[in-house]
Amino acid sequence: MDASNRSDRLVAAAESGGGIVILAGAGMSAESGVPTFRGADGLWRNFRAEDLATPGAFARDPVLVWEWYEWRRGLVAECEPNAAHSAVTELENRVTGSFLLVTQNVDGLHRVAGTRNYREVHGCLWETRCLGCGDVVERRDHPLGELPPKCTCGGTLRPNVVWFGENLPEATLSSAFAAAGECDVMVVAGTSGVVYPIAHLPRIAKDAGGYVIEVNLERTPISTLADEVHLGPAGEVLPDLVGVTF
Ligand code: OAD
């Protein structure tokens, strides 16, 4: 354990009834083997996520977009939560005030790690949504078979994730913004901080008097407003922040 990464401010707030928000991005799952979006390993057949995760791409070529999601579902199916996910769950268990995890990740690994109060603001890789009847169904089976998969109503299914150019689910978004505006400490871990509206959350926390702690391999646009910046892998730094070993 690296004592220099311990955050007395975080531990004190957690244990004295403070409000804690964790904002997670793809870096949180990198050590589980899930590629990040903007890293060199984030490309799939030379496509960028921004070119595939759009309603237009799905309308043009649903099979191509589904093949990408099937690739990602297959990858994530082999992955397990890492020490960063465990540290978040441990923190939630210790918090005596309010706790919310806001994750941009669609891999569902925080659920597997046992975190209970979370908002998956970009949706979930393990759910489909029918373009016809709107039904959302959990689908853990992989591969899904003929693509694009069909609903029992005959409609085409899409991944239940938020694509570029789409709005985030209203209720999910408003609870994330409310928690950011009320928290004492926000930990921003493994996100490049460039995808809005979620990238606003650290600024909202800060402007409302919250203390912002960033964990990342490198500095990001969030680093300039953060009160503490811990550079290093989330799977090492997050347990250190909380003062636990896994
Ligand atoms: P990005 O791929 O943009 O950024 C990942 C961040 O994690 C980078 O800042 C890396 O430096 C950092 N990182 C990588 N490995 C790490 C590690 N082991 N420990 C700590 N940090 C590490 O991913 P996001 O910021 O999550 O949206 O991207 C935001 C959104 O853009 C995604 O949710 C997705 C994407 O397009 C949608 O699909 C709507």
Distance from residue 80's CA to the centre of ligand 1 (Å): 18
Please choose, from the candidates 20, 24, 2, 1, the residue with its C-alpha nearest in 3D space to the C-alpha of residue 11. Answer: 20
Q: Is the CB of 229 under 6 A from ligand 1?
A: no
CA 145, CA 191: separation in Å to the nearest integer?
33
What per-residue confidence (pLDDT) applies to 1?
Answer: 65
Locate the domains of the chain by residue range. 8-33+81-122+167-242, 40-78+128-161
pLDDT of residue 81: 98
Fold for 40-78+128-161, please state it: SIR2/SIRT2 'Small Domain' (3.30.1600)
Query: What pLDDT score was predicted for residue 51?
Result: 86
| pLDDT under 70: residue ranges of the chain | 1, 42-43, 246
Separation of alpha carbons 107 and 165, rounded Å = 21
Architecture of the CATH domain 8-33+81-122+167-242: 3-Layer(aba) Sandwich (3.40)
Residues labelled catalytic: 122
pTM for the complete prediction? 0.94
CA of 179 to the centre of ligand 1 (A): 21
pLDDT of 26: 96
- pLDDT of 37: 82
